[in-house]
Amino acid sequence: MQSPWLKHALLSDTGPTATPLDGDLKVDVVIVGGGYTGLWTAIELKNRDPSLDIAIIEKDVCGAGASAANAGFALPMWLQLSFLEKISNTQKAIHIGRASIDAIDDIKQISVENNIDTQISQSNTIWGATCEKQSGHWDKMLALMETFQVHSYQLLDQQKIQEMTGSDALIAGVIDTASIMLHPGNLVRGLRRVALKKGVRIYEKTSMTKLGRTSPPSVQTPAGMITARKVVLAIYGWSLSIPELKRSAMVMFTDAAMTVPIPEKLSEIGFYNAPGFTDSRTFIESIRPTADGRVMLTKSGGWLPFGDRLDACPKHASRSEDQLRTILSAYHPALKDAEIDGTWCGPIDRTADGLPTFGKLPTCPHIIFGYGYSGAGIVPSRVGSHILASLVQDRRDEWTSCPLVRPLNRDFPNEPFRWIGGHLVKNAIERQDRFDHEGRTVGPITKFWLQFTPKSYKPS
């Protein structure tokens, strides 16, 4: 099911129509995946070398995966500095943090220069807590930020959050003043128009049926074969279909809902043009207003696919419309009867440490990959496009030596143990989130399974 974001973007998209691939093709670079990662990488490569012949194949339409299904929070990567520092050093960690700020500037600039209706909000994002036990997860992060002279996070108490959002559900939090909110569907379709304008060939409704680990590598499609000097795999959670990549990440879906436009109601409750916010549950809840007066809600912890069978998961949210509306009304009771425009779900690819991974396929150095955004891919996909472009060009620079270019791990088991264990961990997370709000402590069995919880993009 398409998200309302993508439906709205497709209705207003005046860009040229791309057709499926029909016949064989030989190019310099073929990119598999027409989402943020694939499009940004094509644009970055064209900016570096306009003579490159680049083709993108997308099995659906550009943005039909996670790129137009997310909540539209563009968050700097400062929250991941402690993880980055652990696997590299302070200087390289700060480089990624600064690159993420530059990525937000890039989104703003490309939107203005190409007339993309990204609907960037002037409000920011609050990371808060809905119970005492989950409050203060940001304390160590703020102390670390101080040592790095990063001052974009500000502490908020319950009263201040209520003044800013109209909700008294969050008892404390921090606001990320460098973050932005945007229309994810318009952004991805806008990037598609930019890529086409730069001469990138885009073939939608064209799936990869076989990956040739040869020299040069090849990509087989239903109606032809593409041979290229380099192949870039930008397929997000569908990376689990690649044998070399499947053990380094897992996928769980996030549920989402969006109301119809209700600007008058939002003004009445103090949520119009307000900051969006996420809570501190492991299975995160996030709520934000949109530019046209809607409210969007996400709740993680949805479908858990078996192996790489993401497309076999139901297209609808795992939670009912009434369940999602109940979550929404816990933050704003006045929205308990709000009309829902649509519910949907989207995959989240998580690594064990919450950091994305980039590199060259061990079985074929001419095949490049990047995945594992762990729930916050808008900004890391732009940062990652620099990394992927440098890997394609075989450069030795600050991007190919950054901590996100790293060996593949075997952090997750094969099936059926992944699916069985995943559900046990999922149940443990749900129990802990519930017990935290009830003021209770989970038992030893739950604690045992909680140790296998993949990290999020922020500390918990």
Interval 62-69 mean pLDDT:
94
Give the C-alpha separation, 288 to 72, whole Å. Answer: 9
Residue 460 covered by a domain: no
Residue 248 has pLDDT above 90, yes or no: yes
User: Which residues neighbour 14 within 8 Å (Cβ) at sequence distance 6 or greater?
Assistant: none
Residues 288 and 436 in one domain: no
Do you find a cis peptide bond into 403, omega within 30 degrees of 0? no
Residue 284 covered by a domain: yes
Residue 448's SS3 state is helix
Residues 256 and 311 in one domain: yes
Give the C-alpha separation, 353 to 372, whole Å. Answer: 10
Residues 429 and 366 in one domain: no
Residues 170 and 269 in one domain: yes
Residues 274 and 209 in one domain: no
φ, ψ (nearest 5 deg) of residue 305:
-70, 155
Positive/negative CA dihedral, 7, 8, 11, 12: negative
Residue 202 has pLDDT above 70, yes or no: yes
Give the C-alpha separation, 31 to 41, whole Å. Answer: 8
- Residue 1 — very low, low, confident or very high, per pLDDT cuts 50/70/90? low
Residue 108 covered by a domain: yes
Cβ neighbourhood burial of 108 (10 Å; 0-12, 13-18, 19+): middle
- Residue 145 — very low, low, confident or very high, per pLDDT cuts 50/70/90? confident
Q: Report the alpha-carbon angle 337-339-344, nearest 5.
A: 115
* Structure confidence by residue, pLDDT tens digits, 326-378: 999 999 999 999 999 999 999 999 999 999 999 999 999 999 999 999 889 99
Provide the residue range defining the domain that includes 35. Answer: 1-120+181-249+352-412
Residue 395 has pLDDT above 80, yes or no: yes
List the one residue out of 306, 278, 447 whose CA is nearest residue 375. Answer: 278
- Residue 280 — very low, low, confident or very high, per pLDDT cuts 50/70/90? very high
Give the pLDDT of residue 140.
86
* Structure confidence by residue, pLDDT tens digits, 16-50: 787 899 999 999 999 999 999 999 999 999 999 99
- Residue 82 — very low, low, confident or very high, per pLDDT cuts 50/70/90? confident
Residues 68 and 144 in one domain: no
Residues 367 and 383 in one domain: yes
- Residue 460 — very low, low, confident or very high, per pLDDT cuts 50/70/90? low
Residue 457 covered by a domain: no
* Structure confidence by residue, pLDDT tens digits, 291-330: 999 999 999 999 999 999 999 999 899 999 999 999 999 9
Residue 231 bridge partners (DSSP): 30, 367
Give the pLDDT of residue 457.
76
Q: How many domains, the chain?
A: 3
This prediction's pTM: 0.96
Q: How far is CA 292 from CA 43, 58, 107, 185, 288, in A?
A: 29, 29, 20, 14, 12
Q: Provide the token pair at 250.
A: 């897992």
Residues 141 and 288 in one domain: yes
Interval 4-22 mean pLDDT:
90
Residue 169 has pLDDT above 70, yes or no: yes
Residues 58 and 203 in one domain: yes
